[in-house]
Amino acid sequence: MMNKLWSFLFLLGFSILMIVAGLEDEESNCFALRDEACPNANITFWLYTKEKPEGLEISPFSIPVLEFLPMKSLKVLIHGFNGHRNYTPNVQLRPRFIKLDINVISLDFQKLANEPCYSEAVHNAKYVGRCIAQLLRLLLESKLVANKDVHLIGLGLGAHVAGFVGQFMPEHKLEHITALDPAKPLYLVNDTAQKLDPTDAKFVDVVHTDVLMLGLLEAVGHVDFYLNMGVEQPNCGPVNQMETHFCYHNRAADYYAESISSNAGFYGFYCPNYKSFATGACVPKKDIEPMGFYAHPEARGRYFLETNNGPPYAKGTNYKNINRQLKGRTFMNDELIDQLFENKADA
C-alpha cells in the first residue's frame, strides 16, 4: 500500500512539475552526456576567496595554486535543477562564507540541468559528480586543501551530485556533505548507488523543506532535520501552486544561511520516525541538536523543529505550540494523509 501511495504521489507531483516547467516541449535542446571524460566543457568551476570575491574560473589544467595558500576550509556549492553558479544556494551562502574567510568553489553545470530537461539532468548528475571528484582529488593530492576541511553543500539535484562525488572518491573519504532538500523526482529508488546516502561521506546532514513534492521525505543522512514538518514554509504562497513548492524547496538554503550567524540558532528535537512526530508520540526532551552550520558530526537520527513566520526564522529551543497537523497544510486530501503512515512504523 505504501509503495503504491508513494508512486501515486510521485507521479502526481512530477506530472505537475512537467506541466509547469514545460517538460513536454518537443523542441527542447535536452541532451544526456555519454562521454565520461573529465574535464567537461559543460561543467565549470569558480573559485571565490576573500581576496577574489568576484570569482575566478579554474580547471584541473589551471589551478591557481597561490589562491589556495595558505590552506583554508573549502565549501563546494552545488546548484540544483535549472540553477547556475549565481543561483540558490550560492546567493545565500557564498557571501557569508567569504566573509568568514572560507574559500568557496561554485559549480556551474546549467546546460546539463536546465529546463525543460529534468530526466536528462538526473542522468547527467553522475557525470557532474565524477568531474567534481577529479578536481577535488587534484586539490587534495597537491595539498592545497586538507580532506578534513572539504565540505560539499548541494541543493535538490545538487545534493545527489554531492553523493556521487563521494562514490567517486573512495580513496579520499569525503568529510562532510550537507543536503538541502534533496530532490525526489526520479530518486525514489532503493539502490543507494543511484542517490545520496550516509555512506557518501563521514558526515551527511540533511535539511528537509518540501517532502511532499520536490524533496525526499525519507531520511538519507546521518542526521535529518525536518523544518515545519518539511511540508510547508512560511510566506511562500497557496499550497496548490507549483511556485509555492519551489519556494519551499529553496528555503532550505535560506535557513542554512541564517544558521551561520543566528543568535537564537535552529534546534531540532529527536523523534524516532516521522510518524511519531505527526502523532505526538515524541516530545522535546534532552536530545536536541543544532541544524545548519553548527550541526554536530556525531548527530544521528531524525530531528524536528519549527520556524518563525519571517526572518529571522530561527526559534532556538522554543517548542511552544508545535504544529503536528498535516491536514490542511498540503495539496493532499485527508484520505491520502490517513494512508500515508498506515502500517508504516518507520515512516
Could you tell me if residue 210 is inside a domain?
Answer: yes
Q: What is the mean pLDDT of residues 60-88?
A: 97
pLDDT interval class at 346 (50, 70, 90): low
Which sign, positive or negative, has the C-alpha torsion 114, 182, 189, 275?
negative
Full-prediction pTM beyond 0.85? yes
d(CA 45, CA 57): 6
pLDDT at 343: 45
Instruction: Return the number of other C-beta atoms located less than 10 Å from residue 301's C-beta.
Output: 16
Residues constituting the chain: 347
pLDDT at 9: 52
Q: How many CA atoms does the CB half-sphere of 332 hold within 13 Å? A: 23
Q: How do residues 14-69 score in pLDDT, each as one tens digit?
A: 544 444 444 444 446 898 999 889 999 999 999 999 999 999 999 999 999 999 99
Residue 76's closest CA among 60, 63, 89?
89
The β-bridge partners of 260 are none
Residue 155 pLDDT > 60:
yes
Could you tell me if residue 345 is inside a domain?
Answer: no
Q: How do residues 137-148 score in pLDDT, each as one tens digit?
A: 999 999 999 999
d(CA 46, CA 152): 14
First to last CA, the chain: 13
Strand order across the beta sheet in which 56-58 lies:
56-58, 44-48, 103-108, 74-78, 150-155, 176-180, 203-208, 223-227, 301-305, 267-271, 288-290
Could you tell me if residue 250 is inside a domain?
Answer: yes
Q: How do residues 281-340 score in pLDDT, each as one tens digit?
A: 999 988 999 999 999 999 999 999 999 999 999 999 999 989 998 877 877 777 777 776
Grid cell of 231 as nine digits: 511540508
Percent of the chain with pLDDT over 90: 82
Average per-residue pLDDT in the chain?
A: 91
Burial of residue 260, with CB atoms counted within 10 A of its CB: 0-12 exposed, 13-18 middle, 19 or more buried: middle
Could you tell me if residue 168 is inside a domain?
Answer: yes
Could you tell me if residue 347 is inside a domain?
Answer: no
d(CA 245, CA 17): 10
d(CA 333, CA 125): 34
Could you tell me if residue 239 is inside a domain?
Answer: yes
Could you tell me if residue 92 is inside a domain?
Answer: yes
Domain containing 309: what range?
2-340
Q: What is the mean pLDDT of residues 231-242?
A: 92
Q: How do residues 244-274 score in pLDDT, each as one tens digit?
A: 999 999 999 999 999 999 999 999 999 999 9
Residue 103 pLDDT > 80:
yes
In total, how many domains does the chain have? Answer: 1
pLDDT at 332: 74
Q: How do residues 212-222 score in pLDDT, each as one tens digit?
A: 999 999 999 99
Could you tell me if residue 346 is inside a domain?
Answer: no
d(CA 7, CA 174): 32
Q: Which helix (H) or strand (E) holds 276?
A: helix 274-278
Greater pLDDT, 242 or 340: 242
Q: What is the mean pLDDT of residues 226-254?
A: 95
d(CA 279, CA 13): 25
Burial of residue 127, with CB atoms counted within 10 A of its CB: 0-12 exposed, 13-18 middle, 19 or more buried: buried
pLDDT at 116: 93
d(CA 36, CA 38): 7
Q: Is the peptide bond before 185 cis (omega within 30 degrees of 0)?
A: no
Q: Which helix (H) or strand (E) holds 21?
A: helix 2-21
Q: CATH number, domain at 268?
A: 3.40.50.1820
**Cell 576567496, located at residue:** 49
pLDDT at 239: 85
Residue 12 pLDDT > 70:
no
pLDDT at 2: 42
